[in-house]
Chain A
Amino acid sequence: MIEAKGLSKLYGPFRALDKVSFQVKRGEVVGFLGPNGAGKSTTMRILTCFISATGGTAKVHGVDVFDDPLEVRRKIGYLPQRAPLYGEMTVWDYLQFTSDMRGLDPSTFKSRMKRIVEVCGLAKVLGKDIRQLSHGYRQRVGLGQALVHDPPILILDEPTSDLDPNEKAEVIRYIQEIGKDRTVLLSTHNLAEVEAACARAIIVSKGRVVADGPLSDIRAKSGTVRYLVTIHEQKLYEGSEAYRAGSTRRPPSSDEVSEALGALPGVQRVRELPTDDKAHAFELSGALGGDLREAIFQLVVQKGWLLLEMRRESQTLEDVFKALTRGDERADRGRPLLAEDDDAAAVGGAAAGAAALASAADEDEDEDEDEDEDEADEGDDDAAEENGGDDESDGDDENDDDGDDDDADDDAKGKKDGR
């Protein structure tokens, strides 16, 4: 239903999209994820024929967006970001206006309105001026106008932005309802919404697709599992053999626990977590197929430590998203344009992103902490960064098309770098 092949968009030297390719099949509800400025809206504007791509092709319902934009627009219902509507019109008048623009006859419009009013919950506001409505109701009206011609494809650009949690939940419920019999491409940076409404997600970062697949596959892309282990900081388990034998009488230090956990076979990384309790809390990373809990338990028993908590959990979609899109907030859009022979690298961006995932998330958090420390110690550097004086790693990102490789290298150095 929607097919994008190598879509690129340049705004002068600024590269908004970089050979984006994906497909959305009939009946799918697909989340189009990415941080602000990642290229989501640009992609949607190309698919809806509002702007033209600099390179690549896109087809909607089998129609090329460049060859026959009117036919494409007839097949889609589109809700742009923040639902821009004519505030001086009443809800009914606005929906009638979009119906007239789409060439629907009055009887068809009236019959469609029954369903739209029901699905979008517009019954109470049909006679009100749009400017008097809350953000939530405006989004509903925006959804209503996208549905007025009963399109087979819906493209929704951040339909829940600026909404309060209750309104967000309602809009997501409407999308779930609408998506039962339509193809929906839903752009957002709210991962909970994607988990609620979509079975598949496409993640874009810096104008490229970095992940594309079912949510379960994306979650598994990291290839790692997290373990949370909390050890009492001031007490030992007095019933342990080590305690009774007198070999251990002193509660463990943070370094001691970190070192011992890091030495366990299969542990890829150890990181201390901040706690309010009198405890040492650590996050461990292990391979997806393995289970370290038994080894951790044996270590704790052997050392005579008092175990307060141990938990094993897969990476969340949020972790994967953060890892894949890390560094997006930094200004690296001025990087050189891709040469023709970089095509393969660009198309394979998703694979490259996934390969670096396992370590990138952890490194990201470490980096944040390091930055905090740096800020505390060397506040003067802030001004330099604000003035464009990027640190060394930023500079690498700017000049390197595949910053994820750097992440992988950095992470390799930082492996088992417990604090």
Chain B
Amino acid sequence: MSATLTIAKRELRANFDSPVAYVVICLSLIALGFTFFYYEGGFWQANRASFEMLFVYLPRGLSWVVIPVLTMRLIAEERRAGTLEMLITLPVKDHQVVLGKFLGTWAVVLGLIASTLLFPVLMFKFWHLGTLDWGPIFAGYIGLVFYSAAAVSLGLLVSSLTESQIIAFFVTWLLLLALHISGMFMNRVDDPSLQQILAFISFDARLVSFSRGLVTTRDLLYFASIAAMSLMASFRALERRKWS
């Protein structure tokens, strides 16, 4: 097994060795169920078989709770506790450490996203609530996979810049909050170029396209490039120790 996968496996296990991951995942699923079915009328009042709101609530829940909690310790805690020195002095390259940590945490988030597939499967396959257009569902999940890669890598980047988990949590939370709600301010600014920028960076605006069944390479590239740039920046931040 390569060093990257060994680190990813350890990260995955580390999440489930403490109760934090279980608590966060369970509470997230409960909160998601409540908001999806009951918040402002929820699914039952919509009078149509649509999961569009799932793809609005789920990424917000991930960005505002799950991903900051899971990513805050990734490098910050290792640096504070000194385990980073032990890890990096094993025969491993810095980029393998970054990639391994990213993959391990992304896998947890993907697991959580995958568990929400129970909603449409149980409702429309087992309980036969009606006919569902599965196209937007698959497109929405493709969007979530790409979005979660970008969000996790941003959290990893923030964690690599500090030794404090608390700082890492709040900075990641603020960053993801800003990226989600930037679209809301689009109509409140007069400057058209600023409007374009806010629309361009908005996570919500891009995720809405996926939830309606529209998979565009532009949106995929946006999330993929955020992930790639954040991982490269994390690598640089990790490498910085050599020369600081």
CB distance from B244 to the nearest CB of A (A): 7
Which A129-171 residues sit within 8 Å CB-CB of chain B? 145
With both beta carbons as reference points, the residue of chain B lying nearest to A45 in the complex is identified as: B85
Is B46 in the interface zone, CB < 8 Å from A? Answer: no
Q: Does A52 contact B243, Cβ atoms closer than 8 Å?
A: yes
Q: Does A88 contact B18, Cβ atoms closer than 8 Å?
A: yes
Q: Does B83 contact A101, Cβ atoms closer than 8 Å?
A: no
With both beta carbons as reference points, the residue of chain B lying nearest to A77 in the complex is identified as: B89
Which residues of A are found within 8 Å of B1, using beta-carbon distances? 100
A88 CA to B93 CA in the complex, in Å? Answer: 24
Given contacts A70-B91, A80-B86, contact A97 B17 (CB under 8 A): no
What is the number of contacts between chain A and chain B, taking CB atoms within 8 Å?
A: 65
Q: Does A70 contact B93, Cβ atoms closer than 8 Å?
A: yes
With both beta carbons as reference points, the residue of chain A lying nearest to B81 in the complex is identified as: A84
Which residues of B are found within 8 Å of A100, using beta-carbon distances? 1, 6
Which residues of B are found within 8 Å of A82, using beta-carbon distances? 82
With both beta carbons as reference points, the residue of chain A lying nearest to B87 in the complex is identified as: A101
Is B14 in the interface zone, CB < 8 Å from A? Answer: yes
Q: Does B86 contact A88, Cβ atoms closer than 8 Å?
A: no
With both beta carbons as reference points, the residue of chain A lying nearest to B93 in the complex is identified as: A70
Is B10 in the interface zone, CB < 8 Å from A? Answer: yes
A300 CA to B70 CA in the complex, in Å? Answer: 78
Q: Does B90 contact A85, Cβ atoms closer than 8 Å?
A: no
A129 CA to B89 CA in the complex, in Å? Answer: 23
Interface size class of B (residues with CB under 8 A): 20 to 34
Which A21-65 residues sit within 8 Å CB-CB of chain B? 45, 48-52
Q: Does B241 contact A102, Cβ atoms closer than 8 Å?
A: no
Interface string of B1-28 (1 = CB under 8 A from A): 1010011001001100110000000000
Is A89 in the interface zone, CB < 8 Å from B? Answer: yes
Is A81 in the interface zone, CB < 8 Å from B? Answer: yes
Q: Does B10 contact A50, Cβ atoms closer than 8 Å?
A: no
With both beta carbons as reference points, the residue of chain A lying nearest to B15 in the complex is identified as: A88
Is A73 in the interface zone, CB < 8 Å from B? Answer: yes
With both beta carbons as reference points, the residue of chain B lying nearest to A93 in the complex is identified as: B13
Contact of A49 among B14, B17, B89 (CB under 8 A): B89
Which B197-213 residues sit within 8 Å CB-CB of chain A? none
A97 CA to B228 CA in the complex, in Å? Answer: 27
Is A182 in the interface zone, CB < 8 Å from B? Answer: no
Which residues of B are found within 8 Å of A98, using beta-carbon distances? 90
Residues of B whose CB lies within 8 Å of any CB of A are 1, 3, 6-7, 10, 13-14, 17-18, 81-83, 85-86, 88-93, 241-244
Give 4 new A-B contacts, CB below 8 A, not counting A50-B88, A100-B1.
A50-B241, A52-B242, A84-B82, A85-B83
